[in-house]
Structure 1
Amino acid sequence: MSESPSWACVCLPELALQVLVRAYPQLRQGPCAVIDEDRPQGRVLCVNQAARELRLLPGMTYAAGLSLAPDLRARVVPQQQLQQVVDGVCEVLHTLSPRVEPSQQEPGVFWLDVQGLQRVFPSLGVWIQSLHRQLRALELWPRVVVGWSRFGTYALARGGHAVGQILESQEHERQAYEDICLSRLGLTPSVRDALGKLGVRDVGALLSLPADGLRRRFGPEVLQLWRLGTGDWRPSLRAMAPQVPLCQQEILDNPVEHRSQVLFVIKRGLYGLLVRLASRHQALSSLGCKLQIEGGSLIEFEISPAQPTLDEHQVLELVRLKLESLSLKGAIEEVFIRVEPASAQREQLQLFKHRGKRDLSAAKEAIARLRAELGDDAVCRAHLTSGNLPEAQFTWVPTKQVSLPEPIPVDRRTLVRRISSRPLRLPPQSRHTRDEGLLVTGVEQGAVVRSWGPYIISGGWWVREVCREYQFTQVQSGRLLWLYYDRGRRRWYQQGRIC
């Protein structure tokens, strides 16, 4: 058994309400609520203390709330805005604990691992003070409970009134959370009301019930709460990895002057950032860019699409328009970009997921530009021909179109011979070296370890006779080479390599 508490729960009570009041400070006075839809039949999600005193509870309709409190003021808080706040809180908490788990069901609830923090902070009380100070700087008001179990810290952080609490023992923790009202633990209104009709209004009364009928009468939600409270189920902390800042920096060896070159550098880093955003189920809400000019001056700008997006072309078009409005008074030697994330819609993620890395239309445009600038023969492809020697069995022909490869499925992958455009002449061999010690490729690759062959190709007697002895050679470095010995020149050549 651990000698010190190992769990901490940080709860931002009624997070949606805190976000709403932070945006509209005038709502601090009087009854206030967050609703899911701005219409009379919209459901109340959370209410402040003034509204609770007027008997307003989550789950009521907006119209029912207005009948109890005619001066009730309510707003809708977008899920995207909540997620941004949760992400910001996670960044703060990761500076105070190496392991942080945000609740997936209740935004604003976080579990932390506090084991060993006494070696970093003078005491857990000082740690709680530091946590409060950093979150209040974000205009958020947390409750923090340090204790011995996942459920105990959660129940007291959700339903208690202390802004900071350290539980001395497991028995103390259990006695404290048994008096917590069930309406404070995020139960759905229908389940909360059904338990209330039976007189089950606090955690202690719930835990005294037998488990057999809980699932049948109240569903898995109540059974899970019972198992957590009794200790029948003790899930471990599922820590979330800290988010790495989404930024990219590139120092240019050759500074660029033209706006099109700067745009290309930004494009190079943007795609990787969008991939990372999509893996987090997020989209780009804004892009900040810093351009370092030779001589020390710095240009900074920021662009924001109409809505969070993963569309690379849309973002680059905004960057292009911004660059055209700037005055670049020198060559750019360093580019730094940073993206601000936001929650992505499912459709955006699906579009990004199925988007291929090979864009045929973009490839055709690139080929057309190269042919226009460098000539029709600038872009070529290999074409197989009839020939005796390997280098004569293909030729290069101009191409205007490209197509995606169509690989043939095979049961076993085969080795591929990569042929050089011209055979590489190898160093001459000493007459005093035995065959098994040949250094055909020089000292760097080592001596021949094993070889297969020879496979003799001869011909060309009508022009100039050629006789080559091909073999596949493995050298000490581990590489597999495609070599031949030219009888006429009495010299070794490397035709290619095997990979």
Structure 2
Amino acid sequence: MRRALCIWLPDWTVQRFNLVRPELKDRPVVFFEIYRGSRRVAACSDRAKSLGVAPGMPVSEAAALAEAEAQSTPLCLEPYDPTADRQMLEKIALWCQQFSPVVGLEDAETPSSLLLDITGLGHLFGGESALADKIVRSFRRRSLSARIGVADTVGAAWAIAHFGDQGRQGEGETGGRGDGEISKFASPGLLVSPSPCLPFSPSFPIESLRLPDETVALLHQLGVYQVGQLALLPRNELNCRFGPDLLKRWDQALGRLAEPIPALPPPVDFCVEQAIEYPTARRDTIEWLLQQLIGQLAQMLVRSGRGATRLSCRLDCNGAQGVDFSVGMFQPTASPQHLFELLEMRLERLALPAPVAAVSLRAAITAPLERRQQELFLDSREAQRPRWLAALIDRLSSRLGRRAVVRPRLISDAQPELAYHCDPLLEDLPGKRVRRRFSLLIPAELPPRPLRLARRPVSLAAISIQPDGPPLQFHFHGREHRIAKTWGPERIQTGWWRGRAIGRDYYRIETTTGRRFWLFRRLRDGQWFLHGVFE
């Protein structure tokens, strides 16, 4: 007899966020999404629910409810990210393969439940009840709250995990329970394993059939609230009235129709290694061996449709500590030549403490390999530019280090020298997404900014007619510069919470020789500074 287990993670969006940002666990957090041009609540934490916030309401209404509570903490607004929820759930599904070799996600647009096939596995854990208790304890150690249902069908297990309490209440305190049925509570999880004679309780609500919201609303309009009420309706008319999903889900829950679990494939370990019978310190031998291993690794990546974005190499030395190094790629690649060139540059700078006895390569981070259709008539050099740029970034990062090849990122700060940050193009954190766009969006209301900005403002001597007016001339680099045109002032000030307040009046000026500079006068003492040069 087949047995299925369902693990439901209530409020999965909130639980996932608490794992990532545990410092906000006790704050009222609201996750918003854009719906018809306005922001609405997609999910919220328990603290936010206690203030009256509920999914579906506008964010402005949720903020008003929070402000109405005098003792409440301001709402923490976070964008709703179903992709991050699904990716984290897939990682947990792979972790759950210690309980069953067949683990998958529920068939839903935004899944929050895991499905396991535990047929014939109960005795390995001391019974299904012991297995469920072990799963609940394991999730609790990971700071996750889970509810578990076990049944003969996937649909029944899903319904028990989500609506097990309602199913028991509908059958009374003692009625409807077979001798073979096990009912066990394990806070915060729940295990309800029905007997073979009662695979699916008719007192379950109609939502337990995993139907679309439109179908559930239509059934409620007709007065159908429990699954048992469907048996009173003509079966041949249900398909015409509600579509095929109703009968399919009903039959799957009762075991009339088979429902396979879409199991996640196990992660592929892209790793190759080779032992050397006679340890060697010759560079040409090590490079030849690396070429052979890279060729094998590239074939594995191509077959899986993946490309490496981080490649790790280990050289085990005879009688000494091994040497580990890695190279990062700007774009996923499975090119053996490109990967070998990057490793070769790193190998040139390595000092081997002893002869090498073994070599191993691992694609530590991979991503889907991009496949492009070759153009017939376009300029081939234009089409190759992105690829050349990625290869240049890889080579520079491999030669100079990942931290030496950076890109600017704007920061919301009034002080110009603090309004940007340089981030490495090749990130160190696995799984962190890197934006590949170099263009930075500057608000249209800001006046033009110089391309070249001094790391620190340069003090200079300037002459102006009015104390608060623009300069007429200034002395810089041993020369006197007479000003022909000025634009400004643009006043920039920082808040009191920054400590020492910054107050400046910026001017864009053009000299009689045509050069353009960015000057400012410090408000507290009238001292002039040069901060940038326009190209």
TM-score (norm 1): 0.55
1:281 Cα shift?
5.8
Change beyond 3 A, Cα 1:146–1:350: same
Assess, with a 3 A threshold, how the Cα gap between structure 1 residues 187 and 235 changes in structure 2: closer, same or farther: closer
1:179 is the counterpart of 2:204: yes
> Are residues 1:169 and 2:195 paired?
yes
Q: Partner of 2:4 in structure 1?
A: 7
> Tell me, what secondary structure is at the counterpart of 1:97?
coil
Q: Name the amino acid aligned to 1:123.
A: G
Structure 1 position 153, deviation (Å) = 0.3
Unaligned runs of 5+ in 1: 355-499
Query: Quick one: structure 1 residues 159 and 140, their matched pair in 2 at CA, closer, same or farther if it must change by over 3 Å?
Result: same
> How far apart are 1:28 and its partner, in Å?
2.2
Closer, same or farther in 2 for the Cα pair 1:267/1:135, shift >3 Å?
farther
> Structure 1, residues 359-383: CA drift from partner, whole Å, max 9, x if none?
xxxxxxxxxxxxxxxxxxxxxxxxx
Secondary structure at the aligned position of 1:350 is classed as coil
Asked whether 1:149 is paired with 2:170, we answer: no
Deviation string 1:149-186 (CA, Å, 9 cap, x unpaired) is: 110101222445761304141455522x743472x876
Q: Could you tell me which amino acid in structure 1 is paired with residue 252 of structure 2? A: L
Task: Tell whether 2:269 aligns with 1:269.
Answer: no
SS in 1 for 2:125: coil
User: Partner of 1:350 in structure 2?
Assistant: 371
Deviation sequence 1:341-376 (CA, Å, 0-9, x none): 5663xxx3535999xxxxxxxxxxxxxxxxxxxxxx
Judged with a 3 Å threshold, the aligned counterparts in structure 2 of structure 1 residues 168 and 202 are, in CA distance, closer, same or farther, namely closer
CA distance in 1, matches of 2:114, 2:327: 33
Identify if the C-alpha distance between structure 1 residues 75 and 238 changes in structure 2 by more than 3 Å, giving closer, same or farther.
Answer: closer
**RMSD, matched Cα:** 4.3
State the partner residue of 1:459: none
Q: C-alpha offsets along residues 88-135 of structure 1, whole Å, 9 cap, x if unaligned? A: 333333222233333354544332222322432222222223323444
For residues 210-225 of structure 1, the aligned pairs below 5 Å read: 218-225=242-249
Q: Tell me the SS of whatever aligns to 1:120.
A: helix
Match of 2:93 among 82, 90, 95: 90
Residue pair 1:278, 1:352 contacting (<8 A) in 2 also: no
In the TM superposition, 1:32-431 aligns within 5 A as 32-35=29-32, 41=38, 45-51=42-48, 54=52, 56-57=54-55, 71=75, 73-77=77-81, 79=83, 81-82=84-85, 84-103=87-106, 105=108, 107-160=111-164, 163-170=189-196, 173-175=199-201, 178-180=203-205, 182=207, 190-191=214-215, 193-198=217-222, 200=224, 203-204=227-228, 218-240=242-264, 242-253=266-277, 255-257=279-281, 262=286, 265-273=289-297, 275-277=299-301, 283-284=307-308, 286-306=310-330, 316=340, 318-340=342-364, 344=368, 348-351=369-372
SS state at 1:327 partner: coil
- How far residue 331 of structure 1 moved from its aligned partner, in angstroms, is 2.8
Cα pair distance change 1:144/1:191, threshold 3 Å: same
| Cα shift at 1:18 | 2.5
Is contact 1:11-1:144 (8 Å) kept?
Answer: yes
Q: How far apart, CA to CA, are the structure 2 residues paired with 1:52 and 1:222? A: 32
Contact 1:291 1:298 (8 Å CA) reproduced = yes
Residue range with higher mean Cα deviation, 210-219 or 295-304: 210-219
Size of the aligned set, in residue pairs, is 345
Bigger shift: residues 259-268 or 152-161 = 259-268
For structure 2, which runs of at least 5 residues remain unmatched after alignment?
68-74, 166-184, 376-535
1:434-445 to 2 correspondences below 5 Å: none
One-letter code aligned to 1:150: V
Distance between the aligned counterparts of 1:302 and 1:148, measured in 2?
49
Displacement, 1:24? 0.9
Alpha-carbon distance in 1 for matches of 2:334, 2:60: 39
1:142 is aligned with what amino acid?
Answer: A
TM-score normalized by the length of structure 2: 0.52
- Does the 8 Å CA contact 2:155/2:209 hold for their aligned counterparts? no
